[in-house]
Amino acid sequence: NDDRILAHFLTCFLALLIFRILKAKIMPLVPTLTNKSLINTLKIFSFKSYDDATYVPCYDGINITDALHDFANFRTDTEYIPVSSMKNIFCISKKSK
């Protein structure tokens, strides 16, 4: 039981730490950024599988999504994303951790 409590605490702590780092990196690009607006923006990032070969973004671009794209050095809102490219994005994000 103590291990579960410790694991839960560690998960919450890491999530908060990652969120704070992300906010600090995005803040210069969007000075009016709030915690709530960043959380809501992250919630809307979704993709729909199309033809089992591509992904289509299911969100509208706003200034926060543009800042996130600039920070990540790739855009997901302007074109269809082939499955191979999406897999590369997953690999890059895992390696940068």
In the block, which residue shows the tokens 């969007």?
30
Q: Which residues contact 31 (CB under 8 A, 6 or more apart)?
A: none
Query: Any idea what DSSP says for residue 29?
Result: T
Sign of CA dihedral 85, 78, 48, 12: positive
pLDDT in tens, 46-68: 888 877 777 888 888 888 988 98
* pTM for this predicted structure: 0.68
Q: 6-41: string of b/e by CB count within 10 Å (b at 16+)?
A: eeeeeeeeeeeeeeeeeeeebeeebeebeeeebeeb
pLDDT at residue 39 greater than cutoff 80:
yes
Top pLDDT among 38 and 80 is at 38
